[in-house]
């Protein structure tokens, strides 16, 4: 898997470590549990999006961009990491954020939003029914008319180029599994915009790795599986492997979404508490909390024996705790 032909900037502290979860393993009494700490990637309090941004902002720099635009939810981790990366690179950053109708002061001003402003990003806050992508396109046109050079990034940084960051992660996981003598029966991650799971699926397909299970944080299973498969296909196309069909490689579980995106569930609260109290591991209520609930359910399911190992990819999002304190 040769990625040298793609422009790339160094943003993340890689490879992120893989750590055992011994007390949680004992508590659940099932397979051996591990976590890949993509919450420790460094810049701007870390997270999974830095992997994608290394490739996306590499292209932006090659194109001579001076302003980066992207879209997300009000408490978007992707937006926060984009703002931090732009600060590092000396680029202007504009964030088009959609606010929920269930807005609190913490949601509007704390957590990731506080950091967005600290990193110097310009925020455009839209109502829930407004089209973020259309706004971003019109804003980019306005910047062009001013003589600026904008570069637009899709929601979550999820596109073929960005997803290459998680093909890299797949290679890291396989290398680390050999070092740990732990052959992972499955890799589990949160899935929303589909790029993290899609990139992992693409990388594992090329490298003959284990299956990737996505735990949906929004949407229904069929919708999310189609999205992740599309994201995997986009990455494989860039790698010259468009003939590979990953449809059968994509599995998404949607039982942990609950009432909807960023809406709390009992299983999410249990996951946050178990991770924190047994392992000192901090999750967030929107992404990793629900995904870890799915990870725990898989460990409890009896599908995997005690000698087997499962890996959870911690995608970060810790600042979200302070945007949704009432959810914890």
Active site residues per annotation: 76
Q: Give ∠ CA 105-109-112 in degrees, rounded to 5.
A: 130
How many whole angstroms separate alpha carbon 69 and alpha carbon 124? Answer: 10
Tell me how many helices (H) and strands (E) the chain has: 11, 10
CA distances from 179 to 22, 172, 315 (A): 18, 11, 22
How many whole angstroms separate alpha carbon 69 and alpha carbon 209? Answer: 34
Pair type for strands 67-73 and 122-126 = unpaired
Q: Which residues contact 88 (CB under 8 A, 6 or more apart)?
A: 11, 43
Gyration radius from the chain CA atoms: 19
Contact (CB, 8 A) for 97 and 108: no
Residue 55 has, within 13 A of its CA and on its CB side, a CA count of 23
How many whole angstroms separate alpha carbon 50 and alpha carbon 123? Answer: 20
The 3-state DSSP class for residue 313 equals strand
By C-alpha distance, which of 312, 251, 243, 285 is closest to 16? Answer: 312
How many whole angstroms separate alpha carbon 232 and alpha carbon 225? Answer: 10
How many whole angstroms separate alpha carbon 95 and alpha carbon 63? Answer: 20
């Amino acid at each position: 898997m040769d990625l040298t032909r793609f422009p790339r900037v160094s943003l993340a502290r890689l490879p992120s470590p893989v750590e055992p979860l011994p007390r949680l393993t004992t508590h659940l009494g099932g397979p051996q549990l591990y976590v890949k700490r993509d919450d420790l990637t460094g810049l701007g309090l870390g997270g999974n999006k830095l992997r994608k941004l290394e490739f996306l902002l590499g292209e932006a720099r090659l194109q001579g961009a001076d302003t980066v635009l992207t879209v997300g939810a009000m408490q978007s981790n992707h937006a926060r990491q984009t703002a931090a990366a732009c600060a590092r690179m000396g680029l202007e950053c504009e964030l088009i954020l959609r606010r929920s109708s269930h807005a609190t002061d913490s949601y509007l001003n704390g957590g990731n939003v506080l950091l967005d402003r600290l990193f110097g990003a310009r925020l455009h806050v839209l109502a829930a029914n407004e089209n973020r992508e259309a706004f971003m396109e019109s804003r980019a046109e306005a910047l062009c008319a001013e003589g600026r050079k904008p570069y637009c990034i899709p929601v979550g940084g999820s596109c073929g180029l960005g997803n290459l960051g998680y093909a890299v992660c797949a290679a890291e996981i396989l290398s680390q599994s050999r070092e740990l003598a732990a052959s992972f029966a499955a890799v589990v991650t949160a899935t929303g915009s589909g790029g993290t799971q899609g990139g992992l699926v693409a990388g594992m397909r090329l490298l003959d790795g284990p299956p990737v299970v996505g735990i949906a944080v929004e949407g229904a299973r069929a919708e999310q599986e189609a999205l992740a498969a599309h994201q995997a296909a986009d990455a494989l196309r860039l790698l010259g492997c468009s003939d590979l069909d990953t449809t059968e490689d994509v599995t998404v579980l949607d039982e942990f979404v609950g009432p909807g995106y960023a809406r709390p569930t009992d299983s999410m609260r249990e996951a946050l508490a178990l991770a924190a109290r047994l392992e000192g591991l901090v999750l967030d209520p929107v992404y990793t909390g629900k995904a870890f609930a799915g990870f725990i359910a898989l460990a409890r399911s009896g599908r995997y024996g005690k000698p087997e190992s499962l890996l959870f990819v911690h995608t970060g999002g810790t600042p979200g705790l302070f945007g949704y304190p009432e959810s914890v």
